[in-house]
Amino acid sequence: MPGFERFGVAERKSANEVLDSGVLMRYGFDGMRQGRWMAREMENALAKRMQSRHAHLVSSGTAALTVALASAGVGAGDEVIVPTFTFVASFEAVLSVGAIPVLCDVDDTLTLDPGAVREAITPKTRVIMPVHMCGSMADLRSLKAIADVHGLLLLEDACQAIGGSYEGKPLGSYGHIGCFSFDYVKTITCGEGGGLITDSDEIYEKAQAFSDHGHDHIGSDRGAEGHPHLGYNYRIGELNAAIGLVQLGRLDEFLDIQKTHYSRLRDVLESLEGVQLRRVPEGGIENYSFLNFFMQDENKARSVAKGLGKAGFDGVFYWYDNNWHYHRKWDHLKKLESLSPLSEALVSQFQATRTQSFEGSDHWMGRNLSILVKLSWDEKELQKRCRILKEVVSAGQDQ
């Protein structure tokens, strides 16, 4: 998956253009730039690729989620529905704006279960945040219908799924706002970076100001810009954007490679009895960055994960035991262990989550294995992995 596996001449050339100009900041210094505005160029390219009116780059995927929430007016006392399987950044962003993350079960898509979402909605709910984990999407049609009925914001965390689509729309563009991560291990990378897309003029204007200390960016004199509201510093730098601009232009190249490698491994699994592939919602196309499948039970999943590791098949994740991505080990969240005091209202409203069980999620995650699909595999490596996968999974059926 990681775009850094394919770094080449074009990425270096683009970065050197920034170094030659000496302008590393995305704003100002017009006369020194030699006509290049890397962040601005990448934003234009991202908006076009994602079929959206606006795109705005920030310093990380976490920053993108934070800016998106703030720009939509989400804050103190508001509830945001997030899945039990995600990266910790999802609930970190919610907490950062003073809102309350409401954990919700996932289903066999490994993303939000629409039925569980309906049950989780309260009068304080403001946002449904599906997280398109491991390259595939939530049942967005159902979630959008729920959001529309209740007047809620549908915020897509597509940080792991850039390049996928649903019903012909790029992931991230189906809801009201979509967020991406361009960190070092994503399908395309800026080294560090993130971005959001939206068709809303109002949200975009607020986002581009909020992420730069509230600057309105009107005129050509940065020192004279107005500050219509408070903001913070979530800016991306020109060096990061220069690399990301090239990588974005190579996205389809990367997706083609991932699809080829993914398909070969999937063919192996489909030939084996007792293996269930992750469900991709009808009308959805993955970005093929991970291949996910379910064993018959937790013991078999653990056995296969261990066996693949011993056989030298790296990049296999058993998320059920992972402390960054699954609710079972988010003790720091459940205990709200914060370096700075949190509001009494937030702590009080969050109480129920501390003892809440998620049997629906555990049913799927306890049996799930996830294979990272790499861009760097050659034919020999791919053949080797197909052989190991078949041998180990077949043997695991007998455990």
Nearest to 207 by CA among 82, 98, 58, 46: 58
C-alpha distance from residue 67 to each of 47, 93, 129 (Å): 17, 9, 14
Question: CA-CA distance, 184 to 191, in Å (whole number)?
Answer: 5
Quick one: which H or E segment has residue 285?
Answer: strand 284-285
Displacement of CA 58 from its chain's centroid (Å): 14
Question: CA-CA distance, 139 to 166, in Å (whole number)?
Answer: 9
Contact indicator for 278, 293 with CB cutoff of 8 Å: yes
- Local structure of 16: helix, strand or coil: helix
Catalytic option among 13, 124, 186, 329: 186
Crossing angle of helices 38-49 and 9-21, in 10° steps, is: 140
Got the DSSP string for 147-180? Answer: HHHHT-EEEEE-TT-TT-EETTEETTSSSSEEEE
Question: CA-CA distance, 254 to 271, in Å (whole number)?
Answer: 26
Could you tell me which residues come within 8 angstroms of residue 303 by beta carbon, excluding any fewer than 6 positions away? 396, 399
On the CB side of 370, how many CA atoms lie within 13 Å of its CA? 22
Place of tokens 């959008």: 144
Angle at alpha carbon of residue 361, lines to 360 and 364, rounded to 5°: 95
User: Is 186 considered catalytic here?
Assistant: yes
Buried b (16+ CB within 10 A) or exposed e, 293-304: bbbeebebbbbb
Crossing angle of helices 238-249 and 9-21, in 10° steps, is: 150
Across the beta sheet with 368-372, the strand order is 276-277, 290-294, 368-372, 316-317
Question: CA-CA distance, 113 to 105, in Å (whole number)?
Answer: 6
- Local structure of 327: helix, strand or coil: helix
Active site residues: 186
